[in-house]
Structure 1
């Protein structure tokens, strides 16, 4: 029994993985990637494309909290869920921009956002003008920490929006909307009700645009 050059001895199709992927026909490997790195890049981009849908979901939850409507889980649970989804979207957006010329701005925005979320989480469950037992901080100092945390999150989103605007990878208008949303949400923490709702709507528009555009991107390698 003869064995085909395209099948193994068991009759299964023979699968050959090339050592390099990229521009076919090139004699040099300067523009090519090893297969293991190409698979890693593809995995990161696939995660980023899917996880970016967490941003419009976070915007919807945040917008719901700004309307003052009572929900069965309570506003704290909804706000924590919104922050969690925002953090996932922030990581996804930084991963999507990792291969662009604005990766430094994206990484800086991600680090600032992570720092802000880490500071926000311990303060989320505390009632206003109160401190936890054994805390060395006064209520005034806790208020300052809360403002710093909100500013860090807002600055992180502004840097990510700037990275989106200059990346030439997705629609630059989404970057502008993201920066406006960060400014509106950050200022909305110390303003009356219409401004936070406007910020949530801007974030919803930016998140939907980014997730839709990223889902249609084709990888270079």
Structure 2
């Protein structure tokens, strides 16, 4: 079977891209007003944005798992593995959200919020994974002070999420209502698991609504093909 010069080996139409993506080449002696982007850079940027759009769906999944933990429902794996999985999914989603906002005017606020949220999660991880006495020995604190340190870590994570919500609200890239929901969820989740019992669950529901909105609108920012 012969292969046409207009088709690939699989039979699909052959698409030929120009060597550069950008404005037209300036005339002789003229100054270029636009940045000319190589095709390989454009493909790389498109791949990163596609990853960011798909990874945003990890945020509603993380909120569902965290809400499950806050309800106190007994499960065979225990609350700790579910909470760790929720934290990992949330970290992936926040990185994707900051990457999606890299081209917006609030990219600096989004990057700051991401770094603050990751710092709070890094501080919270060993405290959540270790028992109270083991955590007290590892950080050289009294057992009663570990609870305060957990609250501080939750407050730092909530501050980072609040900055990300503000970046979403001011970006004019996605629905600003999702940014408001994200900021409300940050306030509720920043109180930590030691707050009044319905508050963490309400925060998880707000995070679920914000995550669904961001994943839906984020997936429609650019065409798939």
**Same structural fold, with TM-score higher than 0.5 when normalized by the shorter chain:** yes
Q: Which residue of 1 aligns with 2:45?
A: 41
Unaligned runs of at least 5 residues, structure 2:
8-12, 27-31
Q: Give the 5 Å matches for 1:20-99.
A: 20-23=20-23, 25=24, 27=26, 28=32, 30-99=34-103
Cα distance change, pair 68–134 in 1 and its aligned pair in 2 (3 A): closer
Q: Could you tell which deviates more after superposition, 57-66 or 29-38?
A: 29-38
The reply to whether residue 116 of structure 1 matches residue 116 of structure 2 is no
TM-aligned CA deviation for residue 127 of structure 1: 2.9
Pick closer, same or farther for the CA change 1:191–1:43 going to 2, 3 Å.
same
Mapping 1:136-151, distance limit 5 Å: 136-151=140-155
Consecutive unaligned residues in structure 1, runs of 5 or more: 8-12
Q: Structure 1 residues 83, 6: CA separation in 2 closer, same or farther (over 3 Å shift)?
A: closer
Equivalent position of 1:10 in the other structure: none
In the alignment, what sits opposite 2:10? none
Instruction: State whether residues 48 and 93 of structure 1, in contact with CA within 8 Å, keep that contact through their aligned partners in structure 2.
Output: yes
Deviation at 1:208, TM superposition (A): 0.2
Deviation larger for 26-35 or 107-116: 26-35
- Report deviation, 1:18: 1.9
Shift of 1:183: 0.3
Residue equivalent to 2:199? 195
Partners of 2:115 and 2:42 in 1: CA distance: 26
The CA deviation at 1:149 is 1.3
